[in-house]
Amino acid sequence: MNMLTRLEEYYYEAKANKWMRYFTVFCRIVLALGFIPSGIIKIMGERFTALPAHHPLGQYFDALHLTGYYYTFIGFTQLTIAVLLLIPRTALLGALMYFPVILNICILAYATRFEGTRITTFMLLASFYLLCWNYDRIKYILPIKQSERHSDTSTQTRSNKFPWLFFGSVLAIMISVVVINQYLYTIRPGNSMLECTNSCPGNSKPEVCQKFCDCIYNQGNSLDKCLDDYERAKQ
């Protein structure tokens, strides 16, 4: 038995597990709820976030808000994806559409050092999990050699055994994301001037941190320039 066949055996066992099915429904609902409010806000033409205009991500959303019907189109897309995820028959299509959107949002959050990097990472991982859950339906388009295992899970023996290893791994991954994000950056702009300056007492160079916050929120400079000034001042 090769590695792929062995992994597929584990996969079909997971598909037949009651708790894994509950977790999959939970992921679908939570991801849909993450897109519904933001989609409605964009359709209504309102500003998406309360981030100030001088915040790196606030600048991006201000520019996005001014794109007219493109901004509305994004809202309709998010709302459509959310609805597709909530309907079992169209959940796969929703998952396929969700992943590239949340991947883009996650990379944007990390690029601007947004405080929401943790939640966007969780959403990205949950979206990837849904794609893995539907492996039996999308494996035929993957560039891998197909096994002889039949994709019909209706005859699979159902299991009520709680998958401690899986949920323990999920918890470990969530803790890892939180810890890694805690130490990933030496400084972040926060979501406001007050939040930025409140982090300065814990910084190795509090006075330099204060100048960084002033550079972002009062002077309105770009994140790259403020980071360059911050690194030079530290040296």
Whether pLDDT at 96 is above 90? yes
Residue 220 is assigned to a structural domain of this protein = yes
* Whether the Cβ atoms of residue 126 and residue 17 lie closer than 8 Å to each other: no
Query: Is the same domain home to 191 and 179?
Result: no
pLDDT at residue 105, as a whole number: 94
- The answer to which of 91-100, 110-119, 156-165 has the lowest mean pLDDT is 156-165
Mean pLDDT calculated for residue range 171-179: 96
Query: Is the same domain home to 176 and 231?
Result: no
pLDDT at residue 92, as a whole number: 95
Phi-psi bin for 49: left (phi > 0), alpha (psi -120 to 50), beta?
beta
Residue 24 is assigned to a structural domain of this protein = yes
Query: Is the same domain home to 8 and 74?
Result: yes
Query: Is the same domain home to 178 and 224?
Result: no
Confidence class of residue 69 from pLDDT cuts 50, 70 and 90?
very high
Whether pLDDT at 33 is above 70? yes
pLDDT at residue 101, as a whole number: 96
Query: Is the same domain home to 176 and 192?
Result: no
Cα 122 from chain centroid (whole Å): 5
Residue 156 is assigned to a structural domain of this protein = no
Residue 150 is assigned to a structural domain of this protein = no
Express each pLDDT in 8-25 by its tens digit. 888 888 999 999 999 999
pTM given for the model: 0.88
Mean pLDDT calculated for residue range 105-122: 92
Whether pLDDT at 117 is above 70? yes
Query: Is the same domain home to 175 and 197?
Result: no
Query: Is the same domain home to 23 and 44?
Result: yes
Residue 151 is assigned to a structural domain of this protein = no
Q: 124: domain range? A: 1-143+164-185
- Tell me the average pLDDT of the chain: 89
Query: Is the same domain home to 1 and 102?
Result: yes
